[in-house]
Structure 1
């Protein structure tokens, strides 16, 4: 028996924030956001206005940092316990939405510790106190539709991807006006994160016919729109916002692979944005996994109109197309080119590899991997050398 889980409702399109009116009847909403971009763009005010117009009292929790910490999570949970909302609304990029998901757990279950929930599918039943609404501002993480939340332990420099269907939001609002405000670099990084989500979902061990269809459509739409989105095309930005959501629906159910395992661990240590790490890693990971699933990568290549006479040729064509896409997005292909010194690599490579093997995403990778192989994949991504093992 398998399971496929999505939010109950997804509202999408220009001005979709207005659909918060569906929350009429609730009493209190706590709104979570990151920096000032949602306030500057007027989107935070729109959220508050809709909620106030239907009689919902609000309280704002702002300033959630990129790559939110365990400490921020517990601070937010404490604020929720004081305010007692019956709706949680998170607006912004992946960080504030991920943080609010984790805060939700400790709001409803204050007796739990982070250690109690960091392993996959260990989060207790939620929705005893509140439901969750997610409004993404970026086109990449898809946390608005997923069962994941990435939280960083800065004492150990480890990113933990919390994974449980309980933290899948109840309502996702994809207001396509919001991503029009994204800067170019963020558009590139989040777009490559979305592409990695879709490709990893298509080859992951928990894939299904449901996730396959969503992943392939997402891959095609991302290839069609990401470069134009990078250069600010309005229609492309809108298409990317929907495509990344489809990729999220796919990977939330099919799960991911070692590109994300390594991205979680290298991002925290090398201080490189998550999407950029995925862009660097994806070609090397495909080379490693092709030993067991070249036929799946070949399907993706054919779907994109790439050419080749064999599965191996088609897989190589897919890898080359990803590198070409990175170049068009001004993303340097290796960790070395992104400013990571060999000294830092040598100092942390063994620990990164060991932690990446333990990452929850590794279990659903199509090819099994050990610590030494993980380190070799990392080194290949650092130097840009082929993965031949």
Structure 2
């Protein structure tokens, strides 16, 4: 079987990288940019860092900001109509996963109008055309949506998140500038950073993992473990390290899939609007313990990458416990809650478990599971 890898055409990394947006817009012959960004980023002048670059280079643009933290089908539909009226020929997505996921859905529908019903994009939709060219500018160090072929949209009618996977949606350019992430508050930095760690760990142990993806994921685990605490304290080194680490994790998991940490986190966002990174961080250690029997020696490597000493002298069970404990400690150090008691209502667990089992990420889990076993995992966290 052939293993496929899909990455950006071009990516820029480091302080001041946003200046290259003008280079790419002009070099690719774009005439007008459709800027997707959320209301808070506009309010706090984060989006302005990019629009200032566009203004300085006399590049025409229009801003679209009707985007929720967990973007909805309606956000996408409104965005499609706004894009059509704008006369734009490219999209600049500024933000976390919410802005970039919305941009991907808009871009796909514009170029594949037969999928105007947003719900039809769930799973692996058979689109034929590349989406509107997207230049993605992350403002959080976590989702890696700027380098993935995935996006997630909330279907509010059914109270669930739709995971969409499409090689045609990947941004042509990623601009990963740590200065764009410097205004993130501690809580958001911690949550998105743990999301990135979850991507790296799930991607490393997923059923589709192989040597090339393993290389990215182990390096991402190492970089994130070294830098997340510093990023939460807003050190320049921490911010820069997390900007790179989360991108490397995205390079891997986008191409090999994830597992039930994500499939369990998605319903929490749909039902309770729980921040995705927080949900992942709380669930990750419990699912790691559950998955351990199906992971061979991989937890030993995770523990090493996270800086645990003496791992080579440990038994397999000791090494697995060391990896889980290292995750728990990092999560605790950055202020993530220990359980779901303040989030999940017991009467919702049956619905959550079924939703998680039906989620597109579940088949990638290294251990075969069931609705009942997922239910037990939820219950163990409340």
| TM-score between the two structures when normalised by the length of structure 2 | 0.94
Q: How far did residue 155 of structure 1 move?
A: 1.7
TM-aligned CA distance change 1:376 to 1:256, over 3 Å = same
Question: Aligned pair 1:284/2:286, yes or no?
Answer: yes
Report 1:170-209 matches (<5 A).
Answer: 170-209=172-211
Determine if contact 2:70/2:273 at 8 Å carries over to the other structure.
no
**Alpha-carbon distance in structure 2 between the residues aligned to 1:340 and 1:40:** 28
The superposition leaves residues 232-286 of structure 1 with CA deviations (integer Å, 9 ceiling, x where unpaired) of 2121111111111111111101210000000001222233211111111111111
**Alpha-carbon distance in structure 2 between the residues aligned to 1:153 and 1:50:** 35
The superposition leaves residues 104-162 of structure 1 with CA deviations (integer Å, 9 ceiling, x where unpaired) of 112222332223211224333224xx311100000000101001111111122101111
TM-aligned CA distance change 1:228 to 1:53, over 3 Å = closer
Structure 2, unmatched stretches of 5+, are: none
Q: How far did residue 53 of structure 1 move?
A: 4.9
Instruction: Please name the residue that 1:8 is paired with.
Output: 9
Instruction: Please name the residue that 2:301 is paired with.
Output: 299
**Alpha-carbon distance in structure 2 between the residues aligned to 1:124 and 1:72:** 23
**Alpha-carbon distance in structure 1 between the residues aligned to 2:360 and 2:126:** 12
Instruction: Please name the residue that 2:358 is paired with.
Output: 358
**Alpha-carbon distance in structure 2 between the residues aligned to 1:236 and 1:305:** 16
Q: How far did residue 54 of structure 1 move?
A: 4.7
Instruction: Please name the residue that 2:65 is paired with.
Output: 62
Aligned to 1:232, the other structure's residue is in SS state coil
Report 1:125-164 matches (<5 A).
Answer: 125-127=129-131, 130-164=132-166
Q: How far did residue 210 of structure 1 move?
A: 1.7
Q: How far did residue 60 of structure 1 move?
A: 1.0
**Alpha-carbon distance in structure 2 between the residues aligned to 1:45 and 1:303:** 37
**Alpha-carbon distance in structure 2 between the residues aligned to 1:133 and 1:142:** 13
Instruction: Please name the residue that 2:41 is paired with.
Output: 37
Runs of 4 or more off by more than 6 Å in structure 1? none
Q: State which drifts further: 106-115 or 253-262.
A: 106-115
Instruction: Please name the residue that 1:369 is paired with.
Output: 369
Instruction: Please name the residue that 1:385 is paired with.
Output: none
**Alpha-carbon distance in structure 1 between the residues aligned to 2:219 and 2:166:** 25
Determine if contact 1:206/1:364 at 8 Å carries over to the other structure.
yes
Q: State which drifts further: 167-176 or 44-53.
A: 44-53
Q: How far did residue 38 of structure 1 move?
A: 4.4
**Alpha-carbon distance in structure 1 between the residues aligned to 2:75 and 2:328:** 36
Instruction: Please name the residue that 2:30 is paired with.
Output: 26
Instruction: Please name the residue that 1:228 is paired with.
Output: 230
Aligned to 2:295, the other structure's residue is in SS state helix
**Alpha-carbon distance in structure 2 between the residues aligned to 1:274 and 1:329:** 16
Aligned to 1:160, the other structure's residue is in SS state strand
Q: How far did residue 303 of structure 1 move?
A: 3.0
Paired residues in the alignment total 374
Instruction: Please name the residue that 1:251 is paired with.
Output: 253
TM-aligned CA distance change 1:371 to 1:310, over 3 Å = same
**Alpha-carbon distance in structure 1 between the residues aligned to 2:179 and 2:223:** 19
Determine if contact 2:219/2:305 at 8 Å carries over to the other structure.
no
**Alpha-carbon distance in structure 2 between the residues aligned to 1:40 and 1:275:** 22
Aligned to 2:140, the other structure's residue is in SS state coil
**Alpha-carbon distance in structure 1 between the residues aligned to 2:305 and 2:247:** 19
**Counterpart pick for 2:126 among 87, 111, 122:** 122
Q: How far did residue 5 of structure 1 move?
A: 0.7
**Alpha-carbon distance in structure 1 between the residues aligned to 2:248 and 2:336:** 24
**Alpha-carbon distance in structure 1 between the residues aligned to 2:240 and 2:263:** 29
RMSD (CA atoms): 1.6
**Alpha-carbon distance in structure 2 between the residues aligned to 1:354 and 1:39:** 38
TM-aligned CA distance change 1:190 to 1:155, over 3 Å = same
Q: How far did residue 321 of structure 1 move?
A: 1.2
Determine if contact 2:229/2:334 at 8 Å carries over to the other structure.
yes
Report 1:284-363 matches (<5 A).
Answer: 284-306=286-308, 307-308=310-311, 309-336=314-341, 339-340=342-343, 344-345=345-346, 347-363=347-363
